Every structure is written in C-alpha cells, then in structure tokens.
Amino acid sequence: GDGNAGFGGGLLVRGLGLPSATLVDVSFRNCTGYSGGAVAVEGTGASLTAIDSSFTDCEALYGGCAYVGGPWGGARGSPTGLFHNVSFTRCRAYGPLNGNGGALYAHTAEI
C-alpha cells in the first residue's frame, strides 16, 4: 500500500505485551514516515514477520523501509523484526545527517 505517517507509513505494530503481525507476499511502495517509511515495530514484545514481500521507494528519518525499536526515553522495549526473502529497492533515510538506516533501522531490538 501507499502511505504517510509518523511511525510506519504503511503499518504500525505497537504496544506492550505481544502485539504481532505476519505479512506474506505484501508490497509497500511510496511510503513515508518519521520512523519506518513502510513499517514500524515498537514496544515490549511487539513483533513483525515479513515473508516474500517488497519495499520500494520508501523513506523515513529512521529506517527508510522499516523501523524496529523500543520507545525513545524511559523503558526500552525489545521488539523483534524477522525478514525472509524480502527486497528493499530505492529506500532511503533522509535528514540533516542523511538519516539513519536507508532500508532498516534497529534500536534496542532483535532482527
């Protein structure tokens, strides 16, 4: 899908506990976000599994395609991002210092 948002331009998996999402054969294109142009996974126990999927022309300050991380400040989470047979094409991180993580940005996370 196409999207524009703060966290995860196309999809946000957030929360305490065990929020999760599994994506199979999904395409994200032209998505923009502050953290995770296409997808963001944030919070203790949150998880995302992407299989046979593609991310094209996505951008964000943190993780042009995907951001996987705990919340900024305060307690840190340990979210998980699993990517199997996934393509990242023309994704970029932007910002005054050229952003962070053209395709993927992991912050206090497991990849």
> Token digits for 59?
């951008």
pLDDT band for position 42 (cuts 50, 70, 90): confident
Query: H helices of 1-111, where?
Result: none
Cα–Cα distance for residue pair 17/100, rounded to 1 Å: 27
pLDDT (0 to 100) of residue 1: 47
By C-alpha distance, which of 4, 62, 63 is closest to 29?
4
Asked if 40 and 72 count as a contact pair (C-beta separation under 8 A), the reply is: no
Tell whether the torsion through CA atoms of 73, 46, 111 and 100 is positive or negative: negative
Q: Model confidence over 46-105: pLDDT tens digits?
A: 889 999 999 999 999 989 999 998 755 444 557 888 999 999 999 999 877 666 888 888
> Token digits for 80?
């998980």
Q: pTM score, two decimals?
A: 0.83
